[in-house]
Amino acid sequence: MTSLLVTPAELDDLLREGGVAVLDVRWRLDRPDGREDYLAGHIPGAVYVSLDDDLAGHGEPADGRHPLPELADLQAAARRWGVDAGETVVVYDDWNTFGASRAWWVLTDAGVPDVRILDGGLRAWRDAGLPLEEGETVPARGDVALSPAHLRRLDIDEAAALPEHGLLFDVRAPERYRGETEPIDPRAGHIPGAVNAPTGGNIGADGRFLPADELRARYEALGVTTDTEVGVTCGSGVSAAQAAVALRLAGFDAALYGGSWSQWANHPDRPIATGATP
């Protein structure tokens, strides 16, 4: 086990030992509110976390669809989830580890020292034959104290400049990257100089992250070295967090552009590129 991923058996052991907070971060583009699915069945003791409400801020379109949350708002939410200072936090979802990765990134950036992702998500838990419970878990209020800026992030100007001296990975589907379709944001295309590296290349058919050596080989083939400055961007800063996790598993550090394409596309003065990776 790495300090980042946890298996279903390891999570089951942690639950038996106690001292762990489990967060259910079910979220999909076509179904952003996962509460109904959570109530129908979740890992015992898990608390539901709304990505849209708690793991994102709420600004103008020019800020993007999921701007990173303010620290005070996140701390209030984390205490409501029952997270205590020094406690291990395990996050999971049921869709490509997107919601869980966003939670991992946001909480780690806010100084929570031990945040782990259930590798393979709820599917892996079920496949292991482990139980679910229905209804809502209402924990005692936690006492976690958060602090800012423990991970690297990019603002819109830094994202624009990065391809000049490093690598900016756009992890959306190729057709959105190329500008052939754009179902959500006002303009189609990508940030000039960004390289397409879809998130599907980070996980296997079982929904688990690929082994670290395979992830490292993937990103080395895309030009990453230990000296490369790397950033990740997507539609709104959610799936890019999954790529940041994959890069960390591969042994590389990556900065997250939280505004991502949803911010860039809402700034008419920003240039766009179309077509395949140069």
Residue 257's Cβ-count burial label (10 Å; 0-12, 13-18, 19+) is buried
- What DSSP state is assigned to residue 179? T
d(CA 212, CA 269): 39
Q: Which one from 23, 90, 160, 234 is the annotated catalytic residue? A: 234
Answer yes or no: 234 catalytic.
yes
Dihedral sign, Cα of residue 58, residue 62, residue 66, residue 71: negative
Instruction: Count Cα atoms within 13 angstroms, Cβ side, for 183.
Output: 5
Alpha carbon distances (Å) from 245 to 80, 131, 237: 25, 27, 13
Give the residue numbers marked as catalytic.
Answer: 234
